[in-house]
Structures are given as C-alpha cells and as structure tokens.
Amino acid sequence: MATVSSSSWPNPNPNPDPTSASDSDSTFPSHRDRGDETDSLDSFSSMSLNSEEPNQNSNRDVNINQSPISPPTPNLPVTPPPSVLHLSFNQDHACFAVGTDRGFRILNCDPFREIFRRDFDRGGGVAVVEMLFRCNILALVGGGPDPQYPPNKVMIWDDHQGRCIGELSFRSDVRSVRLRRDRIIVVLEQKIFVYNFSDLKLMHQIETIANPKGLCAVSQGVGSMVLVCPGLQKGQVRIEHYASKRTKFVMAHDSRIACFALTQDGHLLATASSKGTLVRVFNTVDGTLRQEVRRGADRAEIYSLAFSSNAQWLAVSSDKGTVHVFGLKVNSGSQVKDSSRIAPDATPSSPSSSLSLFKGVLPKYFSSEWSVAQFRLVEGTQYIAAFGHQKNTVVILGMDGSFYRCQFDPVNGGEMSQIEYHNCLKPPSVF
C-alpha cells in the first residue's frame, strides 16, 4: 500500500495519451524536455509549478550554490571525498547520476562535465537517483548510514526549486525507481507499482519473486510502454505489453535472474542469471530466444547489460573486472535453432561433469559466440557500462567514482582503447 503527497504537480508529458487522462479537476502545467540531439546535453529543461511555497517537511536544508568551490587552503584539512551509494545512466545514456552519502550530483557524458550537485547540510545519504532524460525532475530515495529521506519513500525533486514537490510512501523499503514521461514505476522487494506521472494515480500492481536488487526495465520509445520484471519463479521474467494488455512469461534461465536490459523500443530483452556465464536475447512479443552469447566459463556476477541505440551491440560488465562488447545478429533476422528449448546455464569446468555432459556441453562451449571487444578494469570494483553517443564508444562508470570512455574496433575487435578518464568525486573546481 502506498500513500501520495504533493502540493503541486507537473505534467511531464507534453502530449498525454487520452486513454490515461486524469480523473482530477486540477490542471497540470507541462515542461519542455530537450530531446533534440542538437541541443546542448548540459542543458536541463524547464518545468513550471503552481506553488512556489516550500514544504519544510519534505527535505532537509540543502546547499544549492552552483558557483565553483575554491580550492582548499593548504593549511586546512581536506575533506575526504564522499562515498558512492548509487550510479545510473539516464534514459538515453547522455548523462548519469551519482548518489552519495552527502547528496547527489548529475554529470554529462560527452563532453564529460559536472552539470550540478546538491550536497545536504546534515547527513544526506541518497541511495537512488533516477533521472527523466535531461529535465529538472528527479526521483530520490534515501539510503546509507545517514539517509536524507526515509528509505520507504520516493521523493520527487524539482531542481529548479531546489526542493521536493511530492512523495510516495510505502510500507517497505524502495529498491529502485524507473521513470518515463508518462509513468513512475516503484520497485519494492516483492511488488511493483506503476503510477501515472501527471497525477500520481496508481495504474497497476505486479507481484514478483524476491527482488532485492530492484530489477525492472521499461521501454522509452514514443509508443506504448513495455515493462520487464522478475516473474514468480526462479529464472523467470515477466513482460507487460500495456498497449495490447498482454502479459508474457519467459523462463530465461535455470537459476535466478541477476540482470536484464531492454532496447529503447522494448522489442528486445537481454538477460543474465546468477551464474553469469551466458547472456540471452529474447523477442519480447513472442518470448522466443533470438541469440545467446557467452561471457566466460567461470561464474560471475553481472553488474550491467546495455544495448546500443541501434541494437547492433550489447555491453556487459561483471565482477571479473572486464567489460565485454558482443555483436548482435537480431536485426538480420537470424535466430538460434530450437529456440523453444533453452539449455541450462551449464559451466563446463564443473568437477562433477560426466562423459555425457562433456559430449553435450563442450561442443556448445567451443562454438559459443564470444565478445568482439573487451576492456580490462580493476577487479573488486562495481562498474556499469553503456554505449556512448560517439560511434563505437563505451562509457564505463565505477563505484569508486571513475569514469572511462573507450573505443572498440567493430571489425577486428580485441582490446578497447581508452580515450579518457575522470573521477566524478572531485570538487567542482577541478572540472
């Protein structure tokens, strides 16, 4: 059960769907999201609100001074950098958000540049920062040892006003949040709530298996929404097609789902299990397996999956400290044979392998589709990856504050070359 609180609320969808019209008599002003790629990626759109009266109970004091901070005086102790609690790209991978134990900050990917930061005066831990493309509205969830907000609340932050303009409260902790221009999706441990963005009206509830990572993906195309979440069984994913009001269940793996990602249009779904050896690509309409690629033979924890904008490439990061880029064949119409029968996520190096297992697995192992390009990182740090806006580039973010941009050769493959490196935890004067 959730409760909603907001004194004034914007409509983030400039062209609302008539089928999802609000029952309320209130009118909601619209904002302008700069979706044109020719616009500056450093710019954030304007969203006007009816009320300018701050809600003193919505947030603690916040330092909203955006002027550069002078370098510390040598005789004074240097403040240690904050701890990173959260990293995420925005919907088109043009920007990324960092949640820390002191607040949050938004940075641009290309060129690399800090756009703004909000450091709270007291405590300030933010464990979830979800962007809505490049507009001024963010969804925040408190976290860390001294959370800025209760971890069972989603706070809607308007950065033009420097305050929260609404909140959603739940009986248990929020695991993640996903935003579209027309929907807010809140993920709890075993339930997902879908709200209409314009009036926070609850549209749908979904029961899931235990989902401590808050796994959920939504399409971002102009068309109808496709939502993917864990099903009610181990290894199962649930696909919701809201236009056709169809639900599709796919047994993607024999072990629990560890990570998945959607293409922008919601047509393709990439999944990985807790074994982390295989990544599978499915058609979301009929649930057929379109392609299977192999990350490696040893178990690994998959941290992120990401499609390129044209669905030609797939990036995978894991705890092995390597980011892989795989070539996809789904656009050419190819499809793995016997897609209705999905083989287990077998690891050929298992000591209990029998002769029959070797006969069945080894040929499949050696004929597996391996990554085209790789980028080696330090093991032990969690990284997420996405494709950059420059051709054949990958952007990698680390929980240590690291930012890498690298380039791969789509023909010859091999080791990717590093183009640039930054640390996003440095003070603003460094950028």
Q: What is the DSSP letter of 230?
A: E
Q: Using one digit for the tens of pLDDT, what is the confidence trace for 125-135? A: 999 999 998 88
Least Cα distance to 284 among 316, 252, 317 occurs for 252
Question: What pLDDT sits at residue 394?
Answer: 95
Q: Is the pLDDT of residue 255 over 90?
A: yes
Residues of the chain above pLDDT 90, percent: 54
Q: How far is CA 185 from CA 72, 76, 154, 156, 179, in A?
A: 42, 45, 10, 12, 6
Residue with more model confidence, 202 or 426: 202
- Do 174 and 155 touch, CB atoms closer than 8 A? no
Least Cα distance to 109 among 413, 352, 422, 373 occurs for 422
Structure tokens at 360: 């069945």
Q: Is the pLDDT of residue 45 over 70?
A: no
- Do 129 and 99 touch, CB atoms closer than 8 A? yes
- Do 153 and 6 touch, CB atoms closer than 8 A? no
Kindly report the number of other CB atoms within 10 A of residue 120's CB atom: 21
Average pLDDT over residues 300-328: 93
Question: What pLDDT sits at residue 429?
Answer: 53
pTM: 0.77
- Do 53 and 7 touch, CB atoms closer than 8 A? yes
Pairing mode, if any, of strands 202-207 and 313-318? unpaired
Distance CA 180, CA 118 (A): 23
Least Cα distance to 204 among 20, 375, 74 occurs for 20
Question: What pLDDT sits at residue 162?
Answer: 84
